[in-house]
Structure 1
Amino acid sequence: MDLERLAVPLGEVLEERFGPGVRVRGLSRGGGGASRVTCGFEAVAADGAVAPLILRLGTPGASASIPLVREAALMRAGARAGVPGPEVLAADGADGPLGVEFVVMERIVGETIPRRILRDPALADVLPRLAARCGEILAAVQRVPAGDVPGLDGGDQLDAWQGILAALPEPYPALEFALRWLGRNRPPARPPVVVHGDFRNGNLIVGPDGVRAVLDWELAHLGDPLEDLGWLCVRAWRFGSEAPVGGFGGYDDLVSGYERAGGGPVDRDALRWWEMFGTARWGILCAVQAERHRSGAERSVELAALGRRVAENERDLLRMLPGA
């Protein structure tokens, strides 16, 4: 993607916030992000004031992601509900001024790399509080009125991911077996709420004061209140730690924080079911991302590497099954 051609129209977009004559400086692509392009840059106003910002751009082939305009609306609605996050300055679709869907937001300082979050001495004091804080934030996510973000997908998540798995060109017997077990043992359905869809260690900006921002709402949808809690507990997001919640905390802390902040009562068996579902979902997502590379839709070493993670999730699922 040619970022240089975006500098002038991006500056024009930012004039409403920073005034005429604002310049875009240092626009460059950062690492990470399998389905979005993330770029850092500075907006330099005519009076010399500098604002560090983030530009996110859509990519071809990322059909599972919601439009960036809707993601921006979710971030704004989340902020109103008490979810920490960056201020959104501008957003538009592919027919807008940049010729590609985009969102511009403030840059928040902090750590996002999970292994550093878990091992940085500067964050050691805050780690014991993160699981409870995540529970509080997830209760806030669920306070977002669905009417504030029209167009979010709903429906049965298990059925949806069974369909996604069935559409892949390669068979994945362990994932298929796990999905059948989940179908036979699902907990009672609860009224749907706004679900972040990818709330985990790696999509949080963390500082010595705690969680400063929740990022990447691109998989948001309407779903079960326990879906996000179970996803946060998936083994892949522990990054080598034994602590089940994001590698930094325990189930009790997560649940108590969630319930204390107004989330409904948590059935532990149902939470376990959603953790298993999340493990299966991540395995399927890894396979989908690898297929984007294999099909030629988007050549990427990162996408190819995700294909190797499928087996890890299959192993985790088989170990989680009763009697394993």
Structure 2
Amino acid sequence: MARIDGRVPDGATEITTGQANRVWYIGGREPYVLKHYSDPARAANEAAALALLTHHGAPSPRLLHADVEAQPPWTAQSAVQARPVRGEQFLDDLAGPLAAVHAIGGTHFGRLAGATRHPTWRHYLHDRLNLYTATAPNLATAAAALRRDLDRVNLDIKPRLLHHDLQPGHLVRTPDGLLLLLDWELAAFGDPLSDRARLAVRLRLLSPQAMLADGAAPATRDHLGLYWRLHLLADAALATDPEVRTHALTLTARPTPPRTLRETP
């Protein structure tokens, strides 16, 4: 493989998909994908996530090289020749890769790098709510209600790796049938149920409960619902797509169902 230094070599093919980052496919005997980031914190986080995933042999691209201090920051990842998994097969095909990711433990809560590390999951969730209300003060009432509900449940968990940006297009299948998860900029350590709740928001579901198998414990369903409300608040406060933001605001404005949450012992 030719030396990878973050510069775009002659003959590279740009495969940017409309986001703030720019991405190129570099061919050759050992092809790779070069990604330039507009946000250094996201670059640092994706590099850390890919390094951890590569170490564990997880279903993701391999991190080849990175320089998150460069201008612009960049990563080089193994090229993935694959097609997105879509439609009715998506949730079934996601189960295996997601279980492998969630089996990877962490040492703290929140982003892997480029952001504050939190000692507890509750502390991380409170920090997110603070961000959303600072960005969108009109959401303060909904955020306060969610904070009260979060403080009534047991959130003492061990940190597990989360993709935290699950959506159709981020799960792909290679020609030989291997399933991989792409785009790890938002990876974090936390509760695996948060991944399922975020996916429910991305799929525009009116309830997140379809993300769980029949017979899931009431406490599990309660936690999933709380995380779903949190991710709706995130979109209502931070989404740049007007349609996504409007959808989130509409669901956030709905009356909260009667509380069935078990109080924290």
Question: Could you say if the C-alpha distance between residues 81 and 30 of structure 1 is closer, same or farther in structure 2, counting changes exceeding 3 Å?
Answer: same
Please point out which of 233, 239, 261 is paired with 1:284.
233
Name the % identity: 19
Q: Secondary structure at the match of 1:24?
A: coil
Aligned residue in 2 for 1:161: 128
What's 1:252 paired with?
A: 213
Q: CA deviation at 1:318?
A: 4.0
| Structure 1: 5+ residue stretches without partners | 1-13, 246-250, 256-266, 291-301
Q: Is the 8 A contact 1:40 1:55 kept in 2?
A: yes
Could you tell me which amino acid in structure 1 is paired with residue 11 of structure 2?
A: R
Map of 1:42 onto structure 2: 26
Give the superposition deviation at 1:108. Answer: 1.4
The amino acid of 1:215's aligned partner reads L
85 and 135 in structure 1: CA distance in 2 versus 1, 3 angstrom threshold: closer
Partner of 2:66: 91
Letter in 2 for 1:24: D
| Distance in 2, Cα, partners of 1:271 & 1:241 | 14
For residues 1-324 of structure 1, what are the structure 2 equivalents within 5 Å? 15-16=2-3, 23-33=9-19, 36-44=20-28, 49=29, 51=31, 53-60=32-39, 66-94=41-69, 96=70, 99-112=71-84, 117-118=86-87, 127=90, 129-140=92-103, 142-143=104-105, 153-154=117-118, 155=120, 156-172=123-139, 175-176=142-143, 178-206=145-173, 212-232=179-199, 234-237=200-203, 244-245=210-211, 251-252=212-213, 268-290=217-239, 303-314=241-252, 318=255, 322=259
Q: How many residues align?
A: 251
5+ residue gaps in structure 2? 261-265
Structure number, greater radius of gyration = 1
Cα distance between partner residues in 2 of 1:279 and 1:242: 7
Deviation at 1:23, TM superposition (A): 4.0
CA distance in 1, matches of 2:176, 2:194: 27
Distance in 2 between residues matched to 1:130 and 1:318, nearest whole Å: 34
Q: Report if the CA contact (8 A) 1:276-1:320 is conserved.
A: no
Name the Cα RMSD after superposition.
3.9
CA contact (8 A) 2:201 2:232 kept: no
Scaled by the length of structure 1, what TM-score is found? 0.61
Q: Structure 2 vs 1, CA of residues 157 and 321 (structure 1 numbering), >3 Å: closer, same or farther?
A: farther
